[in-house]
Chains A and B, each alone.
Chain A
Amino acid sequence: MMPIWTKSGEKHAVTLLKVQDCHVLRYVSKEESGGKTAKLLVGGKNVSPFSKPESAHEIFKEAGVPRKQKVTTFNVTEDAIIKPGTPLYAAHFRPGQFVDVTAKTIGKGFQGVMKRWGFKGQPASHGQTKTHRRPGAISTNKAAKVYRGKKMPGKMGNIYRTSFGLKVWRINTKHDIIYVNGSVPGHTNCLVKVKDSKLPTYKDCNKNPPFPTFFADGDEELPEDLFDEEIFQFTDPSVTFA
């Protein structure tokens, strides 16, 4: 995470996400998958092929791509289909866009009810016998049972969670890095899925995105860094208020 300043001098915290060896693996049509839209399987981050059996390598061999650590699905419309085997780059996103970022949260192991659900516990003194971090009562007398989904101690973390509506401030095309506003679930160097935001406020914010994706062998020559309009770039002199 890194600080970023706007032209008016305000500071925002920003997370850096690297797009590492992402390739489209397979196209699944609407009828085949049984859903409402077609799907594209995308894999990220190359990993050694020797730790899995040959049967698991079929998808990667068809696409002509080394084995990937993570394979995810994206629901796409018919006009956004990409041929399997095409690499995906950070330039697929543009500054000023809003994204949702999904990742597995940091695993905390087996945790008690105070940390996991934020219960208040009991006082430390004034006669409490062996009861300081316990849940207390778990149901009423009339119910005569414990409801399903009762908040109790258990394994916390290591589940998929999404941060919605994060603004993209800057894109580095040379190293394929996306600068996303705020924090993102997961530990450092964990794998993360970045999608266009589904929030209704940001439905029309993306004006001229590279569609279906940014192709590196195309005619477009992008500069090394793409900035949002409001970012203070370090090539400018210090901010002065008129």
Chain B
Amino acid sequence: RVSSDGKPPKFQPPPKPVIIDRKTQKEQSRFLSPEFIPPRGRTDPLKYYIERKDMIQRRKVFNIPEFYVGHVLAVTTANPHTSDKSNRFVGICIQRGGKGLGATFVLRNVIEDQGVEICYELYSPRIQAIEVLRLEKRLDENLMYLRDALPEYSTFDVNMKPAPRMDHEEIPVNKLQVRMKPKPWSKRWERPKYNIKGIKFELPERKMQAAQKWSQPWLEFDMLREYDTSKIEEKIRKELSEELGK
């Protein structure tokens, strides 16, 4: 800075040190199941409050573990038509949909060369147990492209043992790039609309650039689509921790 009087410049005190508190950071990154976050709409918030009370009630009786898309789960459901009245299915979670009590998750596995996908409801009373066998997140939140990938990526051993979990902190992200069957696929996964990072595209460069024609770069700047859930999430986390702590 140019000094006004020819005197040495005014003493600027050094900036204050920023203290990052490890404990509060840990609490902030705690997991909130996505079906608790209410969608944007004109419904009365009382409806979501009452649904949440029911969901908390069910969670008190039956443990729904924390899981993401990409985890390998084993689900036992009650089935009146089998001899031991229960049915166990192991698979990788490819999608978590729905909000509130109707929340669902889809498990996929390949059994005897036949791909099988089952859509379970999280809060259905017929589910007797959910076990997490392998904990790993993937690069995408929707793994529907496994239908067009080679079957080796969707096969999981039915009698798999639960992998031992080391820390109670981070869930590892598997940066696996999946190889696909030859085209045609069920959806054009190379298009920017799906924004898939977990496929190893072996298509020629020309086709990849032609797919970019359908990109909509203005979407990320569209302010009307922004839905800031941070405050809603905080309130719901507080409510959950109070209720489940009781």
- Pairwise interchain contact B125-A238, C-beta atoms closer than 8 A: yes
- CA of A5 to CA of B125 in the docked complex: distance in angstroms? 7
Please name 10 pairs of A and B residues whose Cβ atoms are closer than 8 Å in the assembled complex, sorted by A.
A2-B51, A2-B100, A3-B121, A177-B50, A189-B42, A189-B44, A235-B61, A239-B125, A241-B80, A242-B85
- The residue that A238 contacts in the complex, of B57, B62, B85, with Cβ under 8 A, is B62
Interface residues of A in 202-242 (CB under 8 A from B): 232, 234-242
With A16-B50, A189-B44 already in contact, the answer to whether A238 and B78 are too (CB < 8 A) is: yes
- Pairwise interchain contact A189-B61, C-beta atoms closer than 8 A: no
- Pairwise interchain contact A234-B43, C-beta atoms closer than 8 A: no
With A3-B121, A232-B125, A241-B85 already in contact, the answer to whether A189 and B46 are too (CB < 8 A) is: no
- Pairwise interchain contact A2-B102, C-beta atoms closer than 8 A: yes
- Residues on B with C-beta less than 8 A from A9 are 78, 124-126
The answer to the question of A188 belonging to the interface, with a C-beta cut-off of 8 Å to chain B, is yes
- CA of A107 to CA of B38 in the docked complex: distance in angstroms? 26
- Residues on A with C-beta less than 8 A from B124 are 5, 9, 11
Pick from A2, A177, A238 the residue with the most CB of B within 10 Å: A238
- Pairwise interchain contact A175-B78, C-beta atoms closer than 8 A: no
The answer to the question of B40 belonging to the interface, with a C-beta cut-off of 8 Å to chain A, is no
Give 14 A-B pairs besides A11-B124, A188-B41, A238-B125 with Cβ atoms closer than 8 angstroms: A3-B102, A3-B121, A5-B124, A9-B78, A9-B124, A11-B121, A16-B50, A18-B44, A18-B46, A188-B42, A189-B43, A236-B125, A237-B62, A240-B78
Interface class of chain A by DSSP: loop
B103 to chain A: closest residue by CB: A3
- CA of A3 to CA of B62 in the docked complex: distance in angstroms? 18
- CA of A240 to CA of B125 in the docked complex: distance in angstroms? 9
- Pairwise interchain contact B126-A239, C-beta atoms closer than 8 A: yes
In the complex, how many residue pairs between chain A and chain B have their CB atoms under 8 Å apart?
A: 62
- CA of A177 to CA of B47 in the docked complex: distance in angstroms? 10
- Pairwise interchain contact A3-B101, C-beta atoms closer than 8 A: yes
- CA of A50 to CA of B62 in the docked complex: distance in angstroms? 52
- CA of A11 to CA of B125 in the docked complex: distance in angstroms? 10
- Residues on B with C-beta less than 8 A from A236 are 61, 125
With A238-B62, A241-B80 already in contact, the answer to whether A175 and B50 are too (CB < 8 A) is: yes
- Residues on A with C-beta less than 8 A from B80 are 241
Which residues of B come within 8 Å of A, CB atoms?
41-44, 46-47, 50-51, 54, 57-58, 61-62, 78-80, 85-86, 100-102, 121, 123-128
Q: Give chain B nearest CB distance to A60 CB in angstroms.
A: 24
**Interface membership of chain A positions 93-126, coded 1 if the CB is closer than 8 angstroms to chain B and 0 otherwise:** 0000000000000000000000000000000000
Q: Give chain A nearest CB distance to B146 CB in angstroms.
A: 27
- Residues on A with C-beta less than 8 A from B126 are 9, 238-239
**Interface membership of chain A positions 1-12, coded 1 if the CB is closer than 8 angstroms to chain B and 0 otherwise:** 011010001010
- CA of A18 to CA of B50 in the docked complex: distance in angstroms? 12
The answer to the question of A37 belonging to the interface, with a C-beta cut-off of 8 Å to chain B, is no
- CA of A189 to CA of B100 in the docked complex: distance in angstroms? 18
Q: Give chain A nearest CB distance to B123 CB in angstroms.
A: 8
The answer to the question of A172 belonging to the interface, with a C-beta cut-off of 8 Å to chain B, is yes
- Residues on B with C-beta less than 8 A from A189 are 42-44
- Residues on B with C-beta less than 8 A from A11 are 121, 124
Q: Give chain B nearest CB distance to A188 CB in angstroms.
A: 6
With A3-B102, A9-B125 already in contact, the answer to whether A234 and B54 are too (CB < 8 A) is: yes
A8 to chain B: closest residue by CB: B80
A10 to chain B: closest residue by CB: B126
A232 to chain B: closest residue by CB: B125
B58 to chain A: closest residue by CB: A234
- Residues on B with C-beta less than 8 A from A172 are 50
- Pairwise interchain contact A241-B78, C-beta atoms closer than 8 A: yes
- Residues on B with C-beta less than 8 A from A5 are 124-125
